[in-house]
Structure 1
């Protein structure tokens, strides 16, 4: 573990590493040892104001928004190269500050560099301007950067989700103030270093970790034009309310309680291990985790037996050990939350089929065994509320129509899947499930070129794909004489 990576004394503001305004520091606690493994300064409103001012100056007066898209693309491609070089550092920090198993940590960051590459490629051909002629009327339609983006990311995937926000924002020509979470504040300093080394101009990216109060200050600051937030639905509602007061642009990627619909012709030996293993990835701390497994009632006992075998066989332990599949939860309060839901499940009439306890061989660290709940009805709180831990619910159904109804019976709509021996049937079912991302016979692996986001209380707007770029742009129309439009073409890239 490198002190250079784990102990930070400065914020990245205006293209420089600057001392904080206050003296308070935050200890970064290892979820596996419960010991302090790093430190960062704690941001104050003064620090955040300085970051916003730097971003504002970079956008209003600096070169970045005024570069051609091709020039910005060159910088983004260099950023992707630098981020690939820093992957070992990202992995090292993630294992210590998040507790993710080292065997999963590289995969956890697999989309960081490709996001910057994708947006570099996209803006080389994207139509930022178009001429419209209709008889004696004509107009120039321009897509311009939205301005200064306040990007707020959670602790369960701080760099990956930062890339989803920063990549399209920079591609559009925006400036960004990025607020990493207090639980996992370190890894996004590596992102700042990579972007700096790639030649991103001063002030275009600013990284200032902090807590809820300074985050709210950032959201409401009149110098920010858009807020891009990933986190809990409750926090998202608060942010949306604050943005509404200022009519500020906002995109939200929030919670989930996603359903996997296992049809009667599915191969259970493939579906169940994939679903249970996937639900335990990152100790179940994934918004898109498919934590409701819907199965035909006449196959319910078989599915529970398979799920128990898979869950009980997952190695739980030190996240530094390559053999570990399930590491600790990020904080003691998160373990208490998960244990509270497991206790609630029993009170509601559910059965703990596997797990449900703290591992006896791990006296230190915030661990919970991979847990499978049976006898679950979809009206139970454990089936309706996001637990955000290594807990999966198996829910029986009697018909395909009931399975679709149960899948849709949720205030969330983020992810999901359909498992079947007939992909065409699976697609027909998928079309009926109201969720933003859904796969057939596989877990969803995000791709930079397709949008990600949710329905209902899972969020607002989309990240990734052309949709992610569109969310960082404002369109405006300039009426012009038709003679000016004829023979003209969009500005060169």
Structure 2
């Protein structure tokens, strides 16, 4: 890989040339890279410098139809005939091919999302690990034999749905590919995947790297915009299961579309996640963790710890450590060693700026950041790590998901007040709890309405632990063996047993 030691513009011009040279970013259908049926393309941008990356096939309903047909044929054919062990072998071989091309996938992730190169590499590695995990767990799925008495024998088969659809978000392309497509294929399904229009490149390459490993038609990728290709996936009557990660409003539209055909859906939606620090916590550790929890990936994570709920007795001590940790985070070229690159695209930057202005209007105090950086970074979609103090639970900024590098500090007086504030939004995805008291930790984990509770740490999702939300944060679970259950349906078989007497 090239050493990027020039100016920001020079670095990215060289990186774009390296990452896209000789690559056709068409749709990947039935084992081939193909143009969109319309012949149209679109061009996602490198958010660090605001320039086009590559031409990408602009798929629509016709392309989704073709992908669904290929997926259904593969399910009815070679893929459907394989055992779980044989599918697992194929998935592990694909994972090995992805690992062999990890540098390429990481570079594409940095260029299209704006995340630092080390973070893009870690995301891709984790996504690959999920594919390997699902391949192993699926081979151990054995169905069930319930006890139904002496006059009958019953067993439960776990069968795949068939052709399935995955609509992926832009913040973690390869990671979420591993979460969703890995589970779908390991369970015996086939896939039609719609990448995010802002970040389709790494997903297309991952699909191309499956050539000759996965049978043709098992994994299909249709690029395009949400209201064209995405809507066609969510409403297609040839898909038997859907999975979507994204915003609550779009998740509702996906669910409405799927309802017409009673298609089951898994939805992983937004979060406005509390990070609760009780007075007995290790304050310095909690403060340093809080800065990472809310600012990692530029805050562009559904599980970001954005609402910092700090006991009033330790607020001053916490802020001293926390604001130092925020100040230590560098903003710059994601191809270098910066902690934080640009936001993913221009419209998203503008949304974050609007929320920061709203915070000022609501009377909150900017404790750090709050502006776009100047100089060389002004050509990209950068925003400073930003912290608001004097935030109250009734403010919009305390309830609405910003999805950017912005955190909000609130205080509480009692355990009951902390739980009330923590649960006081429409979301329920994740929560952080910092305390040295084991009883308080367990009680908070039970009382806070969220799908994942992380105690004295943040970000604890690894292969084997289910991930998903309460309330408007979604339906269903991913990441653990639960994900395989999302992609299979139970079939009960009952056999009458006659009298064995001769």
With the length of structure 1 as denominator, give the TM-score of the two structures: 0.94
1:32, 1:327 within 8 Å by CA — same for their partners in 2?
yes
Aligned to 2:364: 350
Gaps of 5+ in 2: 1-14
Any idea what SS the aligned residue of 2:209 has?
helix
CA distance in 2, matches of 1:484, 1:118: 45
CA distance in 2, matches of 1:261, 1:225: 40
CA distance in 2, matches of 1:20, 1:461: 32
Aligned to 1:126: 141
Q: Structure 1 residue 53 and structure 2 residue 46: aligned? A: no
CA distance in 1, matches of 2:356, 2:498: 70
**Structure 1 segment 422-433 matched on structure 2, within 5 A:** 422-433=437-448
Shift of 1:122: 1.0
Q: Structure 1 residue 399 and structure 2 residue 414: aligned? A: yes
Aligned to 2:92: 77
For residues 283 and 449 of structure 1, do their structure 2 counterparts lie closer, same or farther at Cα, with a shift above 3 Å needed? Answer: same
Aligned to 1:449: 464
CA distance in 2, matches of 1:43, 1:188: 15
1:103, 1:325 within 8 Å by CA — same for their partners in 2?
no
Shift of 1:354: 0.3
Aligned to 1:15: 31
CA distance in 2, matches of 1:427, 1:129: 33
2:26, 2:204 within 8 Å by CA — same for their partners in 1?
no
CA distance in 1, matches of 2:499, 2:272: 53
1:86, 1:190 within 8 Å by CA — same for their partners in 2?
no
CA distance in 2, matches of 1:484, 1:19: 64
Aligned to 1:176: 191
The farther-off stretch of 218-227 and 120-129 is 120-129
Q: Can you list the C-alpha shifts for 1:392-425, whole angstroms capped at 9, x where unaligned?
A: 0011000111111111111000011111123443
1:145, 1:172 within 8 Å by CA — same for their partners in 2?
yes
Aligned to 2:221: 207
Q: Structure 1 residue 135 and structure 2 residue 140: aligned? A: no
Aligned to 1:111: 126
Shift of 1:113: 1.6
Shift of 1:2: 5.7
2:95, 2:132 within 8 Å by CA — same for their partners in 1?
yes
CA distance in 1, matches of 2:334, 2:169: 20
Any idea what SS the aligned residue of 1:479 has?
strand
Shift of 1:266: 0.8
The farther-off stretch of 181-190 and 300-309 is 300-309
CA distance in 2, matches of 1:129, 1:366: 52
Give the CA RMSD over aligned residues. Answer: 1.7
For residues 143 and 414 of structure 1, do their structure 2 counterparts lie closer, same or farther at Cα, with a shift above 3 Å needed? Answer: same
CA distance in 2, matches of 1:462, 1:484: 44
Shift of 1:116: 1.5
Aligned to 2:430: 415
**Structure 1 segment 240-255 matched on structure 2, within 5 A:** 240-255=255-270
For residues 140 and 186 of structure 1, do their structure 2 counterparts lie closer, same or farther at Cα, with a shift above 3 Å needed? Answer: same
Any idea what SS the aligned residue of 2:447 has?
coil
Any idea what SS the aligned residue of 2:43 has?
strand
CA distance in 2, matches of 1:484, 1:471: 39
1:128, 1:144 within 8 Å by CA — same for their partners in 2?
no
CA distance in 1, matches of 2:327, 2:409: 16
Aligned to 1:266: 281
Q: Structure 1 residue 341 and structure 2 residue 364: aligned? A: no
Any idea what SS the aligned residue of 2:379 has?
coil
Shift of 1:305: 3.1
Q: Structure 1 residue 313 and structure 2 residue 323: aligned? A: no
Q: Can you list the C-alpha shifts for 1:277-308, whole angstroms capped at 9, x where unaligned?
A: 22111111000001001001122233233332
1:5, 1:186 within 8 Å by CA — same for their partners in 2?
no
Q: Can you list the C-alpha shifts for 1:369-399, whole angstroms capped at 9, x where unaligned?
A: 0001000011111110000000000110001
Aligned length: 482
Aligned to 1:230: 245
For residues 130 and 168 of structure 1, do their structure 2 counterparts lie closer, same or farther at Cα, with a shift above 3 Å needed? Answer: farther
Shift of 1:221: 1.0
Aligned to 2:346: 332
CA distance in 2, matches of 1:460, 1:141: 24
